[in-house]
Chain A
Amino acid sequence: MSEAMGARRFQIPESVWNRMTDAERWAANQKFLDRSIAHGDQIILATPAGNARPGSWFKRELEYHMGKGYGPSADGTRLIPPGAP
């Protein structure tokens, strides 16, 4: 979906991901998120926030964005950066 929309997405090859510790995985993930936050990007959600799997990376990403002041769009399909209309 992200390719079709021209959106950036976090992706690491399986062979690399499998060799990383959870801390390394989150560090890589967080670096990607911080870059997107610094750009003021909106985040397009493939899954509504409320449907996140407990304990998933996706839920952790949502919590991270919430901590950075992001909020869901009215229709719940995007996360909007703080201060955006």
Chain B
Amino acid sequence: MEIPEHIRQVIGFLESVGLSRKAMVKGNGFGSGVITYENGVRVRIVNDRGDWFIEVSDLRQPNEWYDLALLRDLLGDRGPDVLGAPEQAAILTSRWDAICSIFEPACAAESHRRLQRLREERAKRWFPTWYK
């Protein structure tokens, strides 16, 4: 899995804020793979058939991964659903403290509810004949 420079910069950022690499898994074919970092929150960097995605989860709900567009929307900054890797990296690094605060124990449950709602609303926009 060849890692482009902007993803290397994200990795450098994650390490600079105290996250450490927990796993690096190579997928089947397409050069796909996942690198996971954690320390309080988990961040995974996914190469999905050549496209790069950055996702964040709460250690207490480690199977719920949220993309940066959802997290940005939760934080009140609106924008497009589809973000290139540099745009995802920019949100992650510029809003890091706010993203971490989303999953603080006092507000994590409400954050998960709101993120689920945002995800459902988005699914209705994407697949209007499936989700009404």
Task: List residues of A whose CB falls within 8 A of some B CB.
Answer: 11-14, 17-18, 25, 49-59, 62-63, 66, 71-72
Closest to B120 in A: A50
Q: A55-B82, A66-B129 are in contact. Are A17 and B119 (CB under 8 A)?
A: no
What are 28 A-to-B residue pairs whose CB atoms are below 8 Å? Answer: A11-B29, A12-B29, A12-B30, A14-B29, A17-B31, A17-B50, A18-B50, A49-B130, A50-B119, A50-B122, A50-B123, A50-B127, A50-B131, A53-B46, A53-B55, A53-B67, A54-B67, A54-B69, A55-B51, A56-B48, A56-B51, A56-B53, A57-B48, A57-B51, A62-B126, A63-B127, A66-B127, A72-B130
Does the CB pair B29–A13 fall under 8 Å? yes
A11 touches B127 (CB 8 A): no
Give the interface SS of chain A, mostly helix, strand, loop or mixed. helix
Complex Cα spacing A18 to B31, Å: 8
Chain B residues with Cβ below 8 Å from A49 are 123, 127, 130
**Hey, which chain A residues are within 8 Å of B28, CB to CB?**
11
Task: Report the bound CA distance from A18 to B81 in whole Å.
Answer: 25
A52 to B131 CA separation, bound complex (whole angstroms): 14
A42 to B28, CA, bound (A): 22
**Residues of A contacting B29 with CB < 8 Å?**
11-14, 17
| Contact residues in A for B7 (Cβ distance below 8 Å) | none
Nearest B residue to A48, CB-CB: B123
Which A residue sits closest to B50, measured CB to CB? Answer: A17
Q: How far is the CA of A51 from the CA of B123 in the complex (A)?
A: 8
Interface residues of B in 68-117 (CB under 8 A from A): 69, 81-83
